[in-house]
């Protein structure tokens, strides 16, 4: 992997793939905060772009949920779900979960289990990054920007203890920065 990746380059292509599978139907987008907000906003902009130049608009609604699992660069083992209080609005809808990174799969499996309890018509997952890690149980999202090695990535809303979200690119954090910004 290049040490710096501009994720927006892949976002337009992912939006086209999403539209091929889900287009023409009302899409309910669920952004997994805090990490996924930039990717979510960019992806929705590309999904909505054809609507601007067409008399046929695809209805979209959005919601947000937060899943907390990391301290420093280590998983705590506990997945805390914050938000998503009214997921009953998902019933019968086409649902797109937008996540920044999928690595061990536990977080996404927890969220998918929660979402499926509300009987959506369709559930698809878009992830900017898919981490190749031996801790994975093999889950693969429906839409993937690109695969990365088992490294801790920051930037493009991905943080290390709330730092580096503001970077416009994604990169692997150095050991020096990990020590400097450790919680």
The DSSP call for residue 29 is E
3-state class of 135 per DSSP? Answer: coil
3-state class of 173 per DSSP? Answer: coil
Catalytic residue among 17, 45, 100, 103: 103
In order of 5, 63, 84, the CA distances from 160 in angstroms are 17, 24, 24
- E strand or H helix that includes residue 104: none
- Residue 17 is a catalytic residue: no
3-state class of 12 per DSSP? Answer: helix
Cα angle for residues 6, 111, 94 (degrees, 5° grid): 80
Which residues belong to the active site?
103
């Amino acid at each position: 992997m290049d040490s710096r990746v501009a994720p927006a380059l892949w976002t337009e292509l992912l939006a086209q793939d999403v539209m091929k599978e889900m287009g023409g139907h009302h899409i309910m987008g669920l952004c997994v905060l805090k990490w996924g907000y930039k990717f979510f906003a960019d992806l929705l902009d590309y999904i909505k772009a054809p609507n601007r130049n067409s008399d046929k608009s695809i209805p979209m609604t959005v919601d947000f949920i937060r899943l907390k699992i990391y301290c420093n660069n280590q998983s705590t083992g506990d997945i805390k779900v914050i938000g998503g209080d009214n997921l009953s609005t998902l019933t019968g809808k086409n649902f797109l979960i937008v996540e920044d990174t999928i690595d061990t799969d536990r977080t996404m499996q927890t969220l998918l289990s929660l979402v499926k309890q509300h009987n959506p018509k369709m559930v698809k997952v878009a992830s900017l990054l898919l981490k190749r890690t031996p801790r994975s149980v093999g889950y693969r999202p429906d839409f993937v920007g690109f695969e990365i090695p088992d490294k801790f990535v920051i930037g493009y809303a991905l943080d290390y203890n709330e730092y580096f979200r503001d970077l416009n690119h994604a990169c692997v954090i150095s050991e020096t920065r990990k020590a400097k910004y450790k919680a």
